[in-house]
Structure 1
Amino acid sequence: MPTLSREGQLPAPEPHRHRQVAQSFGTDPDRYDRARPRYPDTLVERILAASPGRDVLDVGCGTGIAARQFQTAGCTVLGVEPDERMAAFARRTAVPTEVATFEDWDPAGRRFDVVIAGTAWHWVDPVAGAAKAASVLRPGGRLAPFWHVQQPPQALADNLQEVFRRVVPDSPFILPAGGAPVLDGYQLLLDRAADGIRQAGGFGEPEQWRYDGERTYTRDEWLDQLPTSGALTRLPADRLAQVLAGVGEAIDALGGSVVIGYSTVAVTAVRVVTRFG
């Protein structure tokens, strides 16, 4: 999931310009694929039920987590991923993947019924990305980027902030805090995606679809996924070890496991016939 700034908002007004962060997740694709949570099957089903077919383009597909879920649902999926390391992993899991940023990717005349992006659309220019999606979607096709937002319990959220500020005081990022709903801090991201769709044209009015749930993590499971956060992917090994040690102590104090709330939110719109043809 994207990380918040110290002010509880996105790390910059235009996160898609932070290519060094966007392309840092491939430092450990095995961990990323193993530890990152899957998306709700109900969301996958709803997207497909509201789409004209099952030809899917997965933007920023990473290791292919979402792509494989859509394949399981009977879709033909093509991934586009800027990091060759992540793309290579996706290909090994039978997800055809081309290496490019979405803005620069050449569709070579191909058309799709659905364009998705699993916790990746914030790395795409919101207007250029939506315009590109409109150009490759069939009439009636659906653009549906979606995000996971984690809600740690208050005790763990406080620990995450304390450890991160102590070990990485010069970073512009923090991990999401507890207390007030973390989703509130991500509304700027969701609004930016919707505004980009409106500005690009070619779509009906965007909607938000939301699914809530929770997952219980053991200490080892939570520490396994933590380094896949954009706040930590470029951290030197010694400082990462300090972060993990501090957080591990907090989870031990909670009994060795932690319940994390999740909200999965899609910003979605239907491609209509306009100047895109």
Structure 2
Amino acid sequence: MPTIPENEPHRQRGIAESFGVDAERYDRTRPRYPDALIHRIVGAGPPPAVLDVGCGTGIAARQLQAAGCSVLGVEPDGRMAELARRLGVETEVATVEEWDPAGRRFDAVVAGQAWHWVDPVAGAAKAARVLRPGGRLVAFWNVHEPPAAVADAFATAYREAAPDSPLAAQATQAATASTTTTATEDAYRLILGKAADGIRRAGGFAEPEEWRLAWECTYTRDAWLDQLPTQGALTRLPAEAQSHVMAAVGTAVDAMGGSFTMRYVTVAVAAVRTGES
């Protein structure tokens, strides 16, 4: 379920900068992005020079490097940036709004799981400034959509362990809506809409388009519990409440036979830089 504040998420710096608490766990457990997305960003021509906004630990950046791209990361959390550098991604510490490109230009600007932390107009304006004509801005998110039985089990676990946590409300919403295949994706409509509107307002781009790629991943109990503390609503829970949530979710996965398959949809907003300079 999403852990994105509804109003002006780019101002919620406390949540945005909470993921570096355990950067190595974040890198180890967060899902990667589908190959089809990487191939679409890279395109049919020579591998592009890419600016990765909010690159975190470099998950998307390393996938792009493996596809032949040269990648520069910009990341406001120094802990995440340090790990990205150790893992082979050149990374500069700054928010993209304040980052100085120093005349550098790129063929693509991407943001994986991060554009909602960027001012949508200022971020798009900076992307337009550094993109070569014909280059593309692509902001994308992995949205997980648990099957109905999984959503119900998790909602119950969250309500029992941390009834006042945003996780409880989010899980209940997902469970209630889980009869549709895009239940959790619908929660991202506002984020996608704001991103597209910011691109339009910034100028310098063709009309934004949306991409959607569906895929699945099977998790064991231990693998899911390893990832769970990296989710935004959990990073800010008190340790005791977090432990209760972990125990309750672990019991729920045990009851499902010790593993489950999570549906994912990778959603993206993409726009081509227009003009001649």
TM-score band w.r.t. shorter chain: over 0.9
Partner of 2:123: 129
How far did 1:267 drift? 0.4
Matches within 5 A, 1:125-204: 125-173=119-167, 174-176=169-171, 177-178=174-175, 179=178, 180=180, 181-204=183-206
| Identity in percent | 65
What TM-score, normalized by structure 2, do the two folds share? 0.92
Superposition deviation, residue 123 in structure 1: 0.4
| Cα-to-partner distance string for 1:83-108 (whole Å, 9 max, x where unaligned) | 00000000000100000111111111
Corresponding position of 2:230 = 228
- 1:102 is aligned with what amino acid? V
SS at match of 1:79: strand
Q: 2:24 aligns with which of 23, 30, 47?
A: 30
Deviation (angstroms), 1:50: 6.6
Q: Could you tell me how far apart the structure 2 residues matched to 1:119 and 1:140 are? A: 24
Letter in 1 for 2:54: G
Q: How does 1:1-277 map to 2 (within 5 A)?
A: 2-3=2-3, 10-49=4-43, 54-173=48-167, 174-176=169-171, 177-178=174-175, 179=178, 180=180, 181-273=183-275, 277=277
Which amino acid counterpart does residue 198 of structure 2 have in structure 1?
G
Q: Which has the higher helix share?
A: 2
Structure 1, unpaired ranges of 5+: 4-9
Give the AA of the match of 2:137. Answer: L
- Mark the CA change 1:52 to 1:141 in structure 2 (over 3 Å): closer, same or farther: farther
Secondary structure, aligned partner of 2:235: coil
What is the Cα deviation at residue 48 of structure 1? 1.2
CA contact (8 A) 1:160 1:175 kept: no
Instruction: Specify whether residues 50 and 198 from structure 1 end up closer, same or farther in structure 2 by C-alpha distance, changes over 3 A only.
Output: farther
CA apart distance, 1:169: 3.6
Aligned positions, number: 269
The offset of 1:165, in angstroms, is: 3.4
User: Which residue of structure 2 lines up, in the alignment, with residue 7 of structure 1?
Assistant: none
TM-score (norm 1): 0.92
Distance between the aligned counterparts of 2:95 and 2:163, measured in 1? 31
Range with bigger deviation, 233-242 or 29-38: 233-242
Deviation at 1:172, TM superposition (A): 4.0
Name the CA shift for 1:238/1:51 in 2 (closer, same or farther; >3 Å): farther
Shift of 1:273: 1.1
> Residue 108 of structure 1 aligns to a residue in which SS?
coil
Cα separation, 1, equivalents of 2:41 and 2:210: 12
Which range moves more in the overlay, 105-114 or 232-241?
232-241
Is contact 2:53-2:96 (8 Å) kept? yes
Q: Work out whether residues 84 and 99 of structure 1, in 8 Å CA contact, stay in contact via their aligned partners in 2.
A: yes
CA separation in 2, counterparts of 1:252 and 1:72? 36
SS of 2:210's partner is strand
Q: 2:211–2:268: 8 Å Cα contact kept in structure 1?
A: yes
Secondary structure at the aligned position of 1:143 is classed as strand
Q: Which moved more, 1:164-173 or 1:120-129?
A: 164-173
**Tell me, what secondary structure is at the counterpart of 1:191?**
helix
Q: 1:261 to 1:155 in 2, by over 3 A?
A: same
Change (3 A) 1:122 1:200: same
Whole-Å Cα distance in 1 between the matches of residues 201 and 56 of structure 2?
27
RMSD of aligned Cα (Å) = 1.6
